[in-house]
């Protein structure tokens, strides 16, 4: 297969960038998208050019390193896959393919298609964990967890931190990323203890880092390679609001607040109760 | 000559660790604050160690080449983590886990270390659940288990097909908490290129900032390497693209011995190679062997008709299928250990019964399991794996059998460490896959996650204190000292030497060539003539490489080709050592199969009289042959026997 590639080139954070056109030929339809870019880079190296920088590592869809905006969509045209799992059979011979980096204020460009996503680390550092020490913890089976709840927590926990949700969002909001972590932990008894504090700290950190706000377009869910649901945003919003309300009266957060069907508090509805 | 002393505590094997913990030296909290520790790598071992050491109050610096610690390749582990909880009441115990691990490793691991691993395994599960790791559960709310190869009990805890991801995110959370608390400082996008020794002790590292190209110096009272395995020496493997041996190899060049380098695990269930531009291989979890049945056609004419697409696999009647694992190993069937399953697949394919376009694939069939358990149950167990397979191969495992073939997955060899996980350099530790210690000549499934977390959460935090207790009077180090100057200059000189604008070939060209040599001569089956040939070919490759490689861009900027060039230079040297190790070990054991040493039935034939030892190699200089040291293995608990899964 043959392709024309239009790729964003930018030497470093300070340099001016532009789209540059390249041709690649003789690509197998079974090649992955990165194997196609490997071929381009080998050609560039051998002809004395400058290879294109892009982030990639596991190449099996789980590490979350890859981050390309392909033909205007994070991770390209296929639903539920990362760029590294995208194969050239998803394109037509002779296609022109546009390749750009994630575009978000909170993710500055490092080089070409590589952006700095350390803002996500900072959000997790603000409270995206259960505060337990290595050492004295109870036996793993001491607290039974309802299977359905555990499965829902797992669904939220499959976030790979790639940033497609931010890239897909017209406001570059990180609500799906935070919503997933907040939900994962709050749904489990082990994480519920500090759920109220956690959601407040993580949301405050997100605001500080320059991410935008949710305007309920659901683009994040549509482009998430792991299919993380926006119901996690609703759960986070509900947790955030209730933690604000209850904090003043020093009341204890009740389990039921986290359990209620997300539909009752959809992001669309909760959007009106923005905390700013 | 350095003598190897494993420093194994006295007493019965089940009491050694308790005795050690009672007797080891402690560091008081005020002194911990004055002590710096460097941790290289943020996989399960590195992240759990950095978090636990930070929690204890040490001043920790942690390094990773990825943009964030959460992306270390432990994230890709699929199937599960073993622990001797015996929640299933099926007769499990620490002793059985210990026994299975020693046997699975074909009696080439150290008893004391493995027993300790089995002993602390239960605490790992407790801690991970407390961290919020969403392990699979029964409807009653308690944890569930699955079976894995090499065991007759169900002791594997799992989180669908993403167990490594969930465990790593747990450790990453704990690490993030310590970073927020100021106990750990994170250095991301860094390659650790050399170790710095002061008066023979590990006192720091030289790192390259991958974004700016700056050569950085970092000092500490102790250095912990957790940089993972070296499967990428084969170019094609299930490792991540960036996985490398460089930190461990730089330690080897500074005097840390490298043990059993030839012990490589070839995983039986990977997606077969499709073409020349392929960059990596994808694993399909061993857990699939719980329900999938492995077969090839029994008749050569069916192989031919399949290849010509005249028939589909489902057209072949049961009577014309060869379920070769069930046939050869009735007791364990499809759940034999990985080395056995891989060799059996190779044997069938070499005999001409392989399927797929290349003939190097076998079927992993779920038709029976789907009939027995239903589509939905199979989906809940393996849904994400089936999806991944379909994405790569464009065929649905629900409709037609998967095609699989063995691929390089894990390396049992690594830096030699004693009972305290210290290398032969004082103050330099190696944990997780990057040490050699627990898996002998073959690792059982779901034991890598267990070992990484055992080392990081529950072993190193004790043993490192025993060393640092004597360092409380050592002031922080000045990185402007002559030792740091020399090391930093050597790194800069090396980078300059590798880059040669006049060179004709790129890094990948050399790496692919190395991979082919290693796979051909030092892969699933090895023999003396082939290994000697490999030595010759690698020497040739090495001298070509020494003349420089075509690398665009500069030294002081983001330059992924330069990163790769350093890694491949080390892989070439390592490849040579692996071949030497495979040559000296004139026996077959676990993943190391020397064709000259097999039973009449084609099984690995060990030679316990002469080779029941750990082969640890000492670096003797750039152009000198490495020197072999032997740590004799003492089996006091377990009687050595021919491993049988029949």
With an 8 Å Cβ cutoff, are B125 and A140 in contact? yes
Q: How many whole angstroms separate alpha carbon B282 and alpha carbon B263?
A: 21
Q: How many whole angstroms separate alpha carbon A92 and alpha carbon A81?
A: 18
Shared domain for A107 and A157, answered yes or no, is no
pLDDT at A263 over 50: no
With an 8 Å Cβ cutoff, are B172 and A124 in contact? yes
In B, residues 274-303, which contact A (CB 8 Å cutoff)?
274-275, 277-280, 282-283
Shared domain for B518 and B602, answered yes or no, is yes
With an 8 Å Cβ cutoff, are B128 and A140 in contact? yes
Q: How many whole angstroms separate alpha carbon B173 and alpha carbon A125?
A: 8
- Domain end point (choices A111, A129, A153): A111
What pLDDT digit, counting tens, does each position of B547-578 carry? 989 999 999 999 999 999 999 999 999 999 99
SS3 B615: strand
With an 8 Å Cβ cutoff, are A48 and B552 in contact? yes
pLDDT of residue B161: 85
Contacts of A28 in chain B (CB under 8 A): 274-275, 277
Shared domain for B382 and B283, answered yes or no, is yes
Q: Nearest CB to A150: which of B137, B394, B461?
A: B137
pLDDT at B410 over 90: yes
Shared domain for B403 and B273, answered yes or no, is yes
Contacts of A30 in chain B (CB under 8 A): 274-275
Q: Nearest CB to B126: which of A34, A137, A153?
A: A137
For residue B553 the two structure tokens come to 């861009």
Percentage of residues in chain B having pLDDT higher than 90: 88
The CATH number of the domain holding residue A215 is 1.10.1060.10
Angstroms from B74 CA to nearest CA on chain A: 9
Q: Which residue of A has its CA nearest to B131?
A: A130
Give the DSSP H/E element, type plus range, for residue B293: strand B293-297
For residue B602 the two structure tokens come to 């084609």
Angstroms from A272 CA to nearest CA on chain B: 31
Shared domain for A86 and A123, answered yes or no, is no
Mean pLDDT to the nearest integer, B306-327: 95
Domain that holds residue A25: 3-111
Shared domain for B390 and B513, answered yes or no, is no
Beta partners for B224?
Answer: B39, B429
Contacts of B231 in chain A (CB under 8 A): none
Contacts of A208 in chain B (CB under 8 A): none
SS3 B511: helix
What pLDDT digit, counting tens, does each position of A176-212 carry? 999 999 999 999 999 999 999 999 999 999 999 989 9
Q: How many whole angstroms separate alpha carbon A24 and alpha carbon A3?
A: 5
* ipTM score for this prediction: 0.94
Q: Nearest CB to B131: which of A50, A130, A153?
A: A130
In B, residues 500-539, which contact A (CB 8 Å cutoff)?
506, 508
For residue A55 the two structure tokens come to 């982030």
pLDDT at B155 over 80: yes
pLDDT at B466 over 70: yes
- Domain end point (choices A93, A111, A129): A111
Instruction: Inform me whether the C-beta atom of residue B131 falls under 8 Å from chain A C-beta atoms.
Output: yes
With an 8 Å Cβ cutoff, are B240 and A61 in contact? no
The CATH number of the domain holding residue A100 is 3.10.20.30
Cβ-based neighbours of B119, under 8 Å, separated by 6 or more: B14, B17, B94, B98
Shared domain for B403 and B513, answered yes or no, is no
Domain that holds residue B536: 482-612
For residue B324 the two structure tokens come to 């070769």
In-domain check, residue B519: yes
Angstroms from B559 CA to nearest CA on chain A: 8
Q: Nearest CB to A140: which of B126, B242, B277?
A: B126
Shared domain for A152 and A265, answered yes or no, is yes
Does the annotation count B338 as an active-site position?
Answer: yes
Q: Are B411 and B431 in contact (CB under 8 A)?
A: no
pLDDT of residue B110: 97
Beta partners for A22?
Answer: A5
With an 8 Å Cβ cutoff, are A63 and B553 in contact? no
pLDDT of residue B135: 97
Q: How many whole angstroms separate alpha carbon B80 and alpha carbon B449?
A: 8
Shared domain for B393 and B284, answered yes or no, is yes
- Domain end point (choices B393, B408, B423): B408
Shared domain for A94 and A136, answered yes or no, is no
Q: How many whole angstroms separate alpha carbon A163 and alpha carbon A183?
A: 18
Shared domain for A158 and A232, answered yes or no, is yes
pLDDT band at A274 (very low <50, low <70, confident <90, very high): very low
In-domain check, residue B589: yes
What pLDDT digit, counting tens, does each position of B576-614 carry? 999 999 999 999 999 999 999 999 888 899 999 999 999
**A–B: how many Cβ contacts below 8 A?**
210
Angstroms from B561 CA to nearest CA on chain A: 9
What is chain B's mean pLDDT, rounded? 95
Q: How many whole angstroms separate alpha carbon B270 and alpha carbon B281?
A: 7
pLDDT of residue A1: 96
For residue B507 the two structure tokens come to 């890094």
Q: What are phi and psi of B321, to 5 degrees?
A: -105, 145
Angstroms from B202 CA to nearest CA on chain A: 26
Shared domain for A14 and A57, answered yes or no, is yes
In-domain check, residue B572: yes
- Among candidate residues B176, B158, B170, the one with its CA nearest the CA of residue B77: B158
In-domain check, residue B328: yes
Mean pLDDT to the nearest integer, B468-488: 96
Beta partners for A69?
Answer: A74, A100
* pTM greater than the 0.90 cutoff: yes
Angstroms from A239 CA to nearest CA on chain B: 18
pLDDT at B219 over 70: yes
SS3 A134: coil
Question: Which of B88, B123, B130 has the highest number of chain A CBs within 10 A, making it the mutation to test binding with A?
Answer: B130
pLDDT at A275 over 70: no
Q: How many whole angstroms separate alpha carbon B68 and alpha carbon B184?
A: 14
- Domain end point (choices B391, B408, B425): B408
- Among candidate residues B116, B10, B109, the one with its CA nearest the CA of residue B634: B109
Contacts of B394 in chain A (CB under 8 A): 87, 89
Shared domain for A61 and A142, answered yes or no, is no
Question: Which of A63, A123, A145 has the highest number of chain B CBs within 10 A, making it the mutation to test binding with B?
Answer: A63
- Among candidate residues B117, B162, B175, the one with its CA nearest the CA of residue B135: B162
Q: How many whole angstroms separate alpha carbon B462 and alpha carbon B455?
A: 10
With an 8 Å Cβ cutoff, are A134 and B85 in contact? no
pLDDT of residue B503: 87
Contacts of A31 in chain B (CB under 8 A): 275, 277
Contacts of A32 in chain B (CB under 8 A): 279, 392
Q: How many whole angstroms separate alpha carbon B143 and alpha carbon A141?
A: 7
Contacts of B278 in chain A (CB under 8 A): 35
With an 8 Å Cβ cutoff, are A49 and B160 in contact? no
In-domain check, residue B105: no
Q: How many whole angstroms separate alpha carbon B518 and alpha carbon B505?
A: 20
What pLDDT digit, counting tens, does each position of A119-173 carry? 999 999 999 999 999 998 999 999 999 999 999 999 999 999 999 999 999 999 9
With an 8 Å Cβ cutoff, are B132 and A190 in contact? yes
Q: What are phi and psi of A154, to 5 degrees?
A: -60, -45
In-domain check, residue B44: no
Shared domain for A150 and A31, answered yes or no, is no
Angle subtended by helix axes A118-125 and A195-208, to nearest 10: 150
Shared domain for B586 and B486, answered yes or no, is yes
Shared domain for A104 and A210, answered yes or no, is no
With an 8 Å Cβ cutoff, are B180 and A81 in contact? no
Question: Which of B49, B66, B132, B177 has the highest number of chain A CBs within 10 A, making it the mutation to test binding with A?
Answer: B132
- Domain end point (choices B382, B408, B434): B408
What pLDDT digit, counting tens, does each position of B423-459 carry? 999 999 999 999 999 999 999 999 999 999 999 999 9
User: CA–CA distance from A247 to each of A195, A202, A239, B75, B449 (Å)?
Assistant: 12, 16, 11, 36, 40
In-domain check, residue B212: no
pLDDT band at B1 (very low <50, low <70, confident <90, very high): very low
Beta partners for B590?
Answer: none
Number of domains chain A is built from: 2
- Domain end point (choices A111, A130, A157): A111
pLDDT band at B373 (very low <50, low <70, confident <90, very high): very high
Give the DSSP H/E element, type plus range, for residue B59: strand B59-63
Burial B184-201 (b: 16+ CB within 10 A, else e): bbbbbbbbbbbbbbbeeb
Contacts of B551 in chain A (CB under 8 A): 45
Q: Choosing from B155, B338, B526, B567, which is the catalytic residue?
A: B338
Intra-chain end-to-end CA distance of chain A, in Å: 51
What pLDDT digit, counting tens, does each position of A74-125 carry? 999 999 999 999 999 999 999 999 999 999 999 999 999 999 999 999 999 9
Residue in this structure with the two tokens 């880079």, named with its chain if needed? A41
Q: Are B445 and B148 in contact (CB under 8 A)?
A: yes
In-domain check, residue B2: no
pLDDT at B358 over 90: no
Give the DSSP H/E element, type plus range, for residue B531: helix B528-546
With an 8 Å Cβ cutoff, are B76 and A63 in contact? yes
Q: Are B218 and B209 in contact (CB under 8 A)?
A: no
Cβ-based neighbours of B593, under 8 Å, separated by 6 or more: B339, B343, B524, B525, B526, B604
pLDDT band at A261 (very low <50, low <70, confident <90, very high): low
pLDDT at A266 over 60: no
Cβ-based neighbours of B391, under 8 Å, separated by 6 or more: A61, A78, A81, A85, A87
Contacts of A130 in chain B (CB under 8 A): 130-132, 173
Contacts of B127 in chain A (CB under 8 A): 132, 134, 137
Q: How many whole angstroms separate alpha carbon B130 and alpha carbon A135?
A: 10
With an 8 Å Cβ cutoff, are B169 and A51 in contact? no
With an 8 Å Cβ cutoff, are B388 and A160 in contact? no
Number of domains chain B is built from: 2
With an 8 Å Cβ cutoff, are A42 and B70 in contact? no
The CATH number of the domain holding residue B324 is 3.90.700.10
Shared domain for B404 and B498, answered yes or no, is no
Instruction: Inform me whether the C-beta atom of residue B55 falls under 8 Å from chain A C-beta atoms.
Output: yes
Mean pLDDT to the nearest integer, B332-343: 91
Angstroms from B125 CA to nearest CA on chain A: 6
pLDDT of residue B646: 82
The CATH number of the domain holding residue B607 is 1.20.58.100
Shared domain for A102 and A126, answered yes or no, is no
Specify the pairing of strand B36-40 against strand B201-209.
unpaired
pLDDT of residue A244: 83
């Amino acid at each position: 297969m043959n392709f024309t590639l239009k790729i964003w080139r930018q030497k470093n954070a300070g340099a001016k960038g532009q789209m540059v056109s390249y041709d690649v030929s003789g690509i197998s339809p079974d090649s992955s998208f990165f194997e196609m870019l490997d071929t381009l880079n080998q050609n560039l190296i051998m002809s004395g050019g400058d290879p294109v920088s892009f982030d990639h590592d596991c190449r099996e869809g789980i590490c979350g390193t890859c981050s390309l905006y392909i033909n205007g969509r994070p991770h390209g045209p296929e639903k539920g896959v990362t760029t590294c799992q995208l194969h050239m059979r998803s394109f037509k011979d002779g296609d022109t393919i546009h390749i750009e980096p994630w575009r978000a204020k909170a993710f500055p460009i490092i080089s070409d298609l590589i952006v700095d996503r350390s803002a996500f680390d900072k959000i997790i550092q603000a409270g995206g964990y259960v505060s337990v020490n290595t050492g004295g913890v109870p036996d793993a089976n001491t607290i039974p967890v309802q299977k359905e709840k555990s499965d829902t927590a797992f669904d939220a926990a499959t976030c790979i931190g790639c940033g497609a949700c931010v890239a897909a969002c017209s406001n570059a909001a990180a609500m799906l990323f935070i919503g997933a972590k907040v939900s994962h932990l709050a749904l489990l008894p082990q994480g519920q203890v500090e759920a109220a504090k956690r959601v407040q700290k993580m949301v405050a950190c997100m605001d500080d880092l320059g991410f935008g706000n949710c305007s309920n377009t659901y683009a994040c869910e549509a482009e998430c390679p792991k299919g993380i649901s926006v119901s996690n945003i609703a759960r986070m919003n509900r947790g955030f609001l209730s933690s604000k309300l209850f904090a003043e009266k020093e009341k204890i957060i009740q389990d039921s607040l986290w359990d209620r069907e997300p539909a009752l508090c959809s992001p669309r509805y909760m959007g009106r109760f923005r905390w700013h | 000559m350095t003598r190897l002393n494993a420093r194994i505590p006295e007493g019965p094997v089940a009491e050694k660790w308790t005795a050690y913990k009672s007797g080891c030296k402690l560091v008081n909290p005020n002194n911990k604050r004055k002590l710096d520790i460097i941790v290289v790598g943020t996989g399960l071992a590195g992240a759990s160690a950095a978090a636990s050491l930070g929690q204890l109050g040490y001043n920790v610096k942690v390094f990773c080449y990825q943009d964030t610690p959460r992306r270390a390749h432990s994230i890709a582990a699929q199937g599960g983590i073993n622990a001797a909880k015996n929640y299933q009441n099926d007769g499990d115990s620490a002793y059985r886990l210990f026994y299975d691990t020693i046997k699975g490793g074909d009696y080439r691991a150290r008893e004391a270390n493995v027993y300790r691993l089995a002993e602390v395994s239960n605490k790992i599960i407790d801690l991970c659940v407390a961290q919020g790791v969403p392990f699979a559960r029964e409807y009653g709310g308690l944890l569930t288990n699955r079976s894995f190869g090499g065991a007759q009990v169900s002791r594997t805890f799992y989180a669908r097909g993403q167990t490594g991801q969930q465990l790593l995110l747990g450790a990453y959370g704990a690490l993030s908490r310590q970073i927020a608390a100021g106990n750990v400082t994170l250095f991301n996008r860094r390659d650790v290129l050399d170790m710095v020794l002061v008066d023979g002790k590990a006192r720091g590292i030289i790192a390259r900032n991958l974004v700016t190209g700056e050569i950085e110096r970092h000092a500490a009272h102790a250095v912990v390497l957790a940089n993972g395995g070296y499967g990428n020496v084969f170019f094609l493997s299930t490792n991540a693209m960036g996985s490398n041996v460089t930190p461990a190899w730089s330690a080897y060049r500074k005097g840390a011995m490298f043990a059993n380098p030839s012990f490589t695990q070839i995983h039986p269930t990977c997606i077969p190679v499709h073409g020349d531009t392929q960059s990596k291989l994808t694993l399909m979890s061993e857990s699939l062997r719980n329900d999938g049945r492995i077969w090839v056609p029994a008749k050569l004419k069916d192989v031919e008709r399949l290849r010509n697409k005249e028939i589909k696999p489902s057209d072949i009647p049961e009577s014309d299928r060869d379920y070769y694992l069930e046939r050869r190993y009735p007791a364990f069937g499809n759940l034999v250990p990985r080395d056995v399953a891989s060799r059996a697949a190779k044997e069938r394919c070499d005999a001409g019964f392989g399927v797929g376009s290349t003939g190097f694939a076998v079927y992993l069939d779920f038709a029976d399991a789907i009939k027995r358990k239903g589509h939905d149950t199979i989906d809940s167990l393996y849904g994400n794996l089936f999806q991944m397979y379909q994405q790569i191969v464009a065929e649905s495992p629900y409709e037609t059998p998967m095609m699989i073939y063995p691929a390089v997955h894990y390396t049992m060899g690594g830096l030699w460490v004693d009972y305290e996980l210290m290398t032969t350099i004082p103050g330099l530790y190696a944990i997780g896959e990057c040490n050699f210690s627990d898996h002998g000549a073959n690792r059982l499934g779901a034991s890598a996650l267990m070992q990484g977390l055992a080392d990081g959460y529950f072993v190193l935090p004790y043993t490192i204190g025993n060393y640092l207790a004597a360092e409380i009077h050592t002031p922080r180090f000045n990185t402007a000292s002559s030792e740091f100057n020399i090391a930093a200059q050597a790194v800069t000189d090396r980078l300059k030497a590798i880059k040669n604008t006049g060179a004709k070939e790129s890094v990948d060209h050399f790496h692919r060539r190395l991979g082919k040599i290693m796979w051909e001569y030092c892969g699933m089956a090895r023999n003396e003539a082939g290994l000697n040939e490999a030595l010759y070919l690698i020497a040739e490759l090495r001298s070509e490489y020494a003349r420089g490689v075509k690398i665009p861009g500069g030294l002081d900027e983001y330059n992924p080709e330069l990163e790769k060039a350093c890694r491949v230079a080390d892989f070439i040297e390592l490849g040579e050592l692996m071949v030497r190790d495979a040559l000296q070990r004139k026996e077959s054991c676990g993943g190391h199969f020397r064709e000259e040493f097999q039973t009449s039935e084609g099984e690995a034939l060990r030679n316990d009289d002469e080779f029941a030892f750990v082969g640890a190699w000492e670096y003797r200089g750039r152009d000198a042959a490495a020197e072999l040291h032997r740590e004799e293995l003492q089996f006091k608990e377990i009687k050595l026997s021919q491993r049988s899964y029949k």
